[in-house]
Structure 1
Amino acid sequence: MKVKVNIREVFKSIPIFKKFYHFLVLISRKIRLEFYYRSNDCTRLKTFQNIHHEERCFIIGNGPSLNVEDLDLLKNEVTFAAHRIYNIFSGTEWRPTYYLGQDFVLLKEIEEQAKKVEAKNKFFPINIKWLHDFNIDDAVYFYLNSEEFSTQLPRFSKNASKEVYEGYSVTYAAIQLAVYMGFKEIYLLGVDFNYAQTIDNEGNIIIQEGVKDYFSNDHNIGLKLPNLEKSFLGFLSAKNFAEDEGVLIRNATRGGKLEVFKRIQLEEVLNIEYREIWNKKQRSYQI
């Protein structure tokens, strides 16, 4: 019987070597960051600072509440969308202004699809380019600071060209990028904050029967499970930062369980009469 030994894990389990390992990781990260700050990737990201000064934007989640009718209303708005949003493209002419990803495991799985997404610009962590040979030529790369947190609020970046902080949600990264771009009104749509399977801070897996993860039939099985305890802290950090800096963040998601931000109807944001939209939907169902 052959036993496979992970030498790195054995090395890290010995206290003195563990400290040395973390020291090497720290030095390696600092060296890479110095190269990044001098790179074209960082220079390109700096060009986005305040390009949308005091404008509004919509950050689109992939929750089951997302629908093509709402996206059709946003064709002339600045929007952010992420990961597997391309699965809804067949039903709408809407396309995101900015497309981004953060989950390393998922991004490696969908790299070819991400390359084909129609968007004005694409944003990904430079970390995945370093560690997983991920490369999309026309993308803008930011440094994702994945410092751990469990009970305290994660930091919120005031300068995305320096770093974007981990918040256990790609939406948190999108909010930081939006603030860096100068947006003063940020509206969330399709951010349901509810999944069939999640993991808590103790490593327990929580299963909710009958809950759908996304607007499509995608799921998180085989991927990194969402940790809603940490994601909640990320959203709370974004809320606190926004209130301190005079940035308005509202949740226009239809339903869902994210209650950190005040709710608002999408029709109210767009100054559209709800009855007008409802009648339009009813007519489309009758055709």
Structure 2
Amino acid sequence: MIVKNVYTEYIYPALFPERYRPLKKYKNLYQGRRCFIVATGPSLTLDDVERIKGEVTFGMNSVFRLFDKTSWRPNFYGVIDTWVFGNIKDELAEQEFECAFYPDKYIKWERAFCHPVAIAQGIGYNLKVRRMLPKRVRGVRFSSDISKRAYEGTSVVHFLLQIIFYMGFKEIYLLGTDCNYSGPVKHSFLASYKNSDQLGNSAEDIYNGLIEDYRYAAKVAAKRGIKIYNATRGGMLEVFPRVKLEEIGL
């Protein structure tokens, strides 16, 4: 496993840099602008996505399940978790996005609008190590150049934040990042996962990992002069200042 990961994360990208060269066009492409990350937490509403039409937005995972209810579409889409991808891949095959990002060599999704990104998983990828050592001990990594590699985190938001920072955005708003997973997945919210009643990992593991990822992203953002706000309705994410979507000035 270690040898395979080293090859996938470091040797392969070095041998075939042209595969990731298209990512370079996004460097500082949106310098100084703002964007919205639309996660798929239970708090997300149709009114939320309707309000941000015309803004630069990033969607993820099962967010396409909203498309039959709204004309809103994300400018960018991302998926990174193989467990999630396995649950949505048949539906994804029917989707068209303006631009999408996914982890190369771990997910097979070759479409004209897709950009593969070399993903470094590191020590945290091993589930046994993940359970023995807390995230703050294992550490969090954050890429400054996605054309070389990005680092895996506990959620796809960590992946997208690395892309967003690379693009030059200076103001980021989070929607639907509830961070309050508790037991079985509920299917009552807008973009729930089909045919799956349980989360891939324990709710505690997911929550603790998420918070450490967000804390680290907040530190990187502060150093780079980037502002991150949580516009989620409720939830348990308190790392970033909270704002109400209605008061942002859309």
* TM-score tier (shorter): 0.7 to 0.9
Give, in angstroms, the shift of residue 85 of structure 1: 0.4
Secondary structure in structure 1 of the residue aligned to 2:105 = helix
Match for residue 151 of structure 1 among 136, 147, 168:
136
5 Å-filtered alignment, 1:62-77, equals: 62-77=40-55
Secondary structure of the structure 2 residue equivalent to 1:140: strand
Which structure 1 residue ranges, 4+ long, deviate > 6 Å from structure 2?
Answer: 210-213
Letter of the aligned partner of 1:75 in structure 2? K
| 2:243 equivalent to 1:243 | no
Percent identity reads 31
Report how far residue 23 of structure 1 moved.
4.4
Distance 1:100 1:70 in 2: 19
Q: Output the CA distance in 2 between the equivalents of 1:270 and 1:115.
A: 36
Aligned partners of 1:22, 1:148: CA distance in 2, in Å?
9
Deviation at 1:84, TM superposition (A): 0.4
For residues 60 and 34 of structure 2, what CA distance do their matches in structure 1 show?
18
- Aligned pairs, number: 235
Distance 1:135 1:73 in 2: 32
Q: Judge which range, 23-32 or 71-80, deviates more.
A: 23-32
Distance change (3 Å), C-alpha of 1:25 and 1:145: closer
1:7-156 matches, within 5 Å, as: 22-23=2-3, 25-27=5-7, 29-36=9-16, 38-39=17-18, 41-129=19-107, 133-149=108-124, 150-152=135-137, 153-156=139-142
Instruction: Give the partner amino acid of 1:253.
Output: T
1:82-136 deviation per Cα after TM superposition (whole angstroms, max 9, x unaligned): 010011112111000001100112213322322333432011011324xxx4433
Could you tell me whether the CA contact under 8 Å between 1:54 and 1:183 is conserved in 2? yes
Identify the residue that residue 249 of structure 2 maps to in structure 1. Answer: 270
1:167 alignment counterpart:
153
Distance 1:30 1:156 in 2: 15
For 2:217 and 2:240, locate their aligned partners in 1 and report how far apart those are by CA, in whole Å: 9
Secondary structure of the equivalent of 2:36?
strand
Distance (whole Å) between structure 2 residues aligned to residue 28 and residue 122 of structure 1 = 20
The letter for the 1-side match of 2:100 is K
Mapped contact 2:60–2:77 kept (Cα < 8 A)? yes
The Cα offsets for residues 157-179 of structure 1, whole Å up to 9 and x where unpaired, read as 11111111122010111111111
What TM-score do you get using the length of structure 2 for normalisation?
0.85
- Report Cα offsets for 1:228-249 as digits up to 9, x if no partner: 1111111000001001110000
Taking the aligned partners of 1:71 and 1:24, their CA distance within structure 2 comes to: 40
How far apart are 1:45 and its partner, in Å? 0.8
After superposition, the CA RMSD in angstroms is 2.3
Task: Extract unaligned runs of 5+ from structure 1.
Answer: 1-20, 198-206, 272-287
What residue is the counterpart of 2:197 in the other structure? Answer: 221
- Contact residue 195 and residue 213 of structure 1 kept, 8 A: no
Instruction: Determine helix, strand or coil for the equivalent of 2:110.
Output: coil
| Corresponding residue of 1:278 | none
Unpaired runs of at least 5, structure 2: 125-134
Query: TM-score if structure 1 supplies the norm length?
Result: 0.75
Aligned CA distance change for structure 1 residues 187 and 102 (closer, same or farther; 3 Å): same
The answer as to whether partners of 2:104 and 2:118 remain within 8 angstroms in 1 is yes
Deviations 1:166-198 (A, max 9, x none): 22010111111111001000000111111132x
